[in-house]
Amino acid sequence: MSGAYEDAYRLSLENPQAFWARAAQDIEWVRRPRAVSKELPSGLVSWFPGGSLNTCYNAVDLHVLAGRGEQAAIIHDSPLTDSIRSISYRELQDEVARLAGALLSLGVERRDRVLIYMPMVPEAIFGMLACARIGAVHSVVFGGFAAGELAQRIQHASPKVVLTASCGLEPGRVIAYQPMLEEAIERVSEKPQHCVVLQRPQQAWQFQEPRDHDWETLAAASPQAGIAALEAKDPLYILYTSGTTGMPKGVVRDNGGHAVALKWSLRNVYGVEPGEVFWAASDIGWVVGHSYIAYAPLLLGCTSILYEGKPVGTPDAGAFWRVASQHGVNVLFTAPTAARAIKREDPEGKRIGDYDLSELRSLFLAGERADPDTVAWCERALDKPVIDHWWQTESGWPMAANCLGLEALPVRHGSPTRAVPGYDIRILDDAGDPLPAGETGHIAVKLPLPPGCLRGLWNDDAGFQQTYLERFPGYYQTADAGHFDEDGYLFVMSRTDDIINVAGHRLSTGAMEEELGLHPDVAECAVTGVADELKGQVPLGFVVLNAGVERDDEELEAELVARVREKIGPVAALKQVCVVERLPKTRSGKVLRGTMRKIADSEPYRTPPTIDDPAILDEIREALRARGYAS
Ligand code: COA
Ligand code: AMP
């Protein structure tokens, strides 16, 4: 007998029209869609054509009208400022409508871009929703990125307005945003016309007239903006994510498919009901923050926790349990790296006992592979279901999960369980042919993708085709590798490209290589991700110096590390660079990054038959041994 998950999954693939038509009833439309989907030449579909809606209305105003006005929409819990602020749906409506009015007064029109470079404060979410209210397209840039990454995004998205704050906060230090934003603006050809700045007490912003505006003054003086009726296909946001080159990819999400899929997912994947408390312990700069701090909890009428702190050190390894207990969190979502950090400081999970976690039903983990040890530790320590689930910026919501809202399936450690309804996941070999259970290959999703997934890349149709659709015609290429077991459980093992995953942050080794390569003493370089007990992976750089350069290795390495930190941001976490004589390459000149990674991680490797000179691998091993790798 099949269960609720099996029934939903089958219906979603056999009759997606019926499946998604039903989910779409949960959204308040200005004009109901003409159809559920319409095929596009790319092989994707346009979801809910003819439909018109407003995402902000569905996430905010609707709940006030429905009697949730006094319920907390957002609770900002900030151990870094020692404060807790609760914002009701009614307050949220007022803040967002006035900020939207401010954007209109600055000349922001439909489809204009607004870049949001902000720390974990509620105003960041006000900014996203204000854009959604008037049909502007937001692009949030993670606060841990520095001037170089910021400049690339401003250059590409050409925002009319930047919403920012005077600073972000990290344990023990204040991150002044102005120097980074000024440098980024200096570097771009088309400058933003306005910056709206949230002045935080920890750091003052030097206002530049007439470009800069004080957030509070401007919003207070602005009338509330009305709600724009947008086409389902209109872009809601652009979120840049690391690709294999130094240039990030601008993933574009629409309004209609996004609202339907996100609301459906919170209920059916995470098992959350309206009015409950959901906490995604991530950052609004990542997709997890977009989908599960901002949009999904608000679309469903939940209370969303916005946490400005760390799993450890703010003040201790009990921080997550304190927050969960204090705010009655029902479902918590974080990255495995956060769980590893807690486990390292509190191996017995003793601090959990200090708090009442009776409201907490489950813990979801994603952002990187959830190693079985970490999952087992969380299960033991919490005595609640711990659910690994797999997705990416491009999908916007889970592709494989144990859908607790439908039916809890038995957990298998190391697997994010089964494909989520809407996703027809296949494992393909290099030629694009399907592989049987047990065999590892490329993880691909048969087209069309369900609603909520990317519609394309901002101003880059060719890049979209080439990155995701060309390699396996008829499929979306996830760039992850893995296999199914006999029961349809998916195992996601690694990336098939040069993207690495550091503490749940997706980073491009290509971007770091570009920065290292710009140093005047560097002839060529490579960056690879090596295993790290806490962060999963960390980047490790190799550089070959220009002929004739005589430098103290240590001094140069420190300079290179500082350069990447300054240009890309501290989040790149590149802490070690090895100066080597040569890089191992194939005869055609391709750097053997994978082989270097295996040597560093002391894994067995095969000397590639196409290698130019096998002796280089011995040199690399020696250089790595000197730094404590390759034991
Ligand atoms: N602004 C400025 N700097 C930031 C930043 C931000 N928003 N976020 C991180 N950084 C800095 C950190 O301070 C750190 O700097 P350091 O090199 O001076 O120590 C550096 O970037 C690396 O950050 P990160 O890799 O996140 O490590 P961390 O020391 O801040 O925390 C853990 C690491 C172990 C606590 C980690 O487990 C964690 O919780 N990471 C976040 C997981 C996450 O939310 N992932 C998102 C996907 S769900
Ligand atoms: P991001 O786009 O930043 O969310 O990163 C997405 C990538 O993180 C995926 O393509 C995977 O490589 C990895 N990832 C995310 N969740 C998981 C998971 N549960 N298991 C294995 N890898 C994961």
pLDDT tens digits, 9-33: 999 999 999 999 999 999 999 999 9
Q: At 42, is the pLDDT very low, low, confident or very high (cuts 50, 70, 90)?
A: confident
Q: Which atom of ligand 1 is nearest to the CA of 175?
A: 2
Distance 371 CA to ligand 2 centre (A): 13
Give residue ranges with CB within 6 A of ligand 2: 241, 286-287, 366-370, 388-390, 392-393, 416, 478, 480, 492, 495, 501, 506
| CB-based pocket (< 6 A), ligand 1 | 143-144, 168, 170, 175, 282-283, 286, 288, 310-312, 335, 337-338, 341, 367, 502-505, 534-535, 570-571, 573
Q: What is the mean pLDDT of residues 100-121?
A: 98
Q: For residue 354, what is the DSSP state?
A: G
Q: How far apart are CA 280 and CA 260, in angstroms?
A: 19
4-309+389-482 and 503-625 in the same fold? no
| Residue 602 pLDDT > 90 | yes
Residue 407 has pLDDT above 70, yes or no: yes
Q: CB-side exposure of 359: number of CA atoms within 13 Å? A: 19
Q: What mean pLDDT do residues 85-99 have?
A: 98
User: Amino acid letter at 409?
Assistant: L
Q: Is the pLDDT of residue 1 over 60?
A: no
Dihedral class, residue 622 (left if φ above 0, else alpha if ψ from -120 to 50, else beta): alpha
Q: Mean pLDDT in the chain? A: 96
Instruction: Tell me which H or E stretch contains 155.
Output: helix 147-157
Dump strand ranges (E) for 300-396. Answer: 303-307, 331-334, 362-365, 386-388
CATH 3.30.300.30 fits 503-625, yes or no: yes
Can you tell me whether residue 251 is helix, strand or coil?
A: strand
**Closest by alpha carbon to 228, among 61, 454, 425, 430?**
61
Residue 8 banded pLDDT, cuts 50, 70, 90: very high
> Domain spans of the chain?
4-309+389-482, 503-625
**Residues listed for the chain:** 631
Judge contact between 184 and 154, C-beta under 8 A.
yes
pLDDT digits (tens, 9 = 90+) for 241-297: 998 777 899 999 999 999 999 999 999 999 999 999 999 999 999 999 999 999 999
DSSP code per residue over 109-177: -TT-EEEEE--SSHHHHHHHHHHHHHT-EEEE--TT--HHHHHHHHHHH--SEEEEESEEEETTEEEES
Q: Going by CATH, does the domain composed of 4-309+389-482 fall within 3.90.550.10? A: no
CA of 392 to the centre of ligand 2 (A): 5
Distance 535 CA to ligand 1 centre (A): 9
Ligand 2, closest atom to CA 287? 4
The pLDDT value given to residue 112: 98
**Mean pLDDT over residues 177-195, rounded?**
98
HSE of 468, CA atoms in CB hemisphere, 13 A: 28
pLDDT tens-place string over residues 552-592 = 999 999 999 999 999 999 998 899 999 999 999 988 888 99
Query: Residue 210, preceding bond cis, omega within 30 degrees?
Result: yes
Residue nearest to atom 4 of ligand 2 (CA): 392
- Residue 541 Cα, ligand 1 centroid: separation in angstroms? 20
Q: What is the pTM of this model?
A: 0.95
Return the residue whose CA atom lies nearest to atom 19 of ligand 1: 570
Spatial neighbors of 137 by CB under 8 A, at least 6 apart, are: 111, 112, 113, 114, 131, 235, 236, 237, 238
